[in-house]
Amino acid sequence: MTTFTDTAPTGDSRGWFARTETWLDARGKGAWIAAMVLSFIFFWPVGLALLAYMIWSKRMFNSPCSSRKSWKSAAMRGASRTGNRAFDHYKEDTLRRLEQEQDDFESFLERLRAARDKSEFDDFMDERARSASSEDKESA
């Protein structure tokens, strides 16, 4: 009679690529970049393939800052409530006021830029008119 024996490997059953990917992920973006640079140094096609993989899997452009929420959304989330209604109300009012001040300041800057652009354009047109009139006088 024949017996069947399970001969599954002991340890991690994933392939070498998956284990390497997990190892590099645990060490961060710097490890990915170091692996890519070393691959370019020792055998450039592997470095090129690694670069393509990093771009394709979006590992190249993910940054720790992109995973953070902006201060506005973090402050407005329900999870940021302290439990003290008076403080939460004060905080919401302050944030709303700051957002309004920011919007007002941005509109002020926009008006300032428009005024500066108009002034520069007017100066250009005046200079152009002066040079055109001086050319007319010289030709006459």
Evaluate whether 52 touches 58 at the Cβ level (below 8 Å): no
Evaluate whether 32 touches 22 at the Cβ level (below 8 Å): no
> Which tens digit of pLDDT belongs to each residue from 63-78?
554 444 454 555 555 5
- Regarding whether 60 and 92 lie in a shared domain, the answer is no
- Regarding whether 101 and 85 lie in a shared domain, the answer is yes
- Regarding whether 46 and 27 lie in a shared domain, the answer is yes
- Regarding whether 133 and 91 lie in a shared domain, the answer is yes
- Regarding whether 94 and 27 lie in a shared domain, the answer is no
Q: Which domain holds residue 38?
A: 14-68
Residue 3 lies in a domain: no
Q: Provide the whole-model pTM.
A: 0.37
Evaluate whether 84 touches 111 at the Cβ level (below 8 Å): no
What phi and psi values does residue 119 have, to the nearest 5 degrees? Answer: -65, -45
In angstroms, the CA 24 to CA 32 distance is 6
Give the model's confidence band at 11: pLDDT under 50 very low, under 70 low, under 90 confident, else very high. low
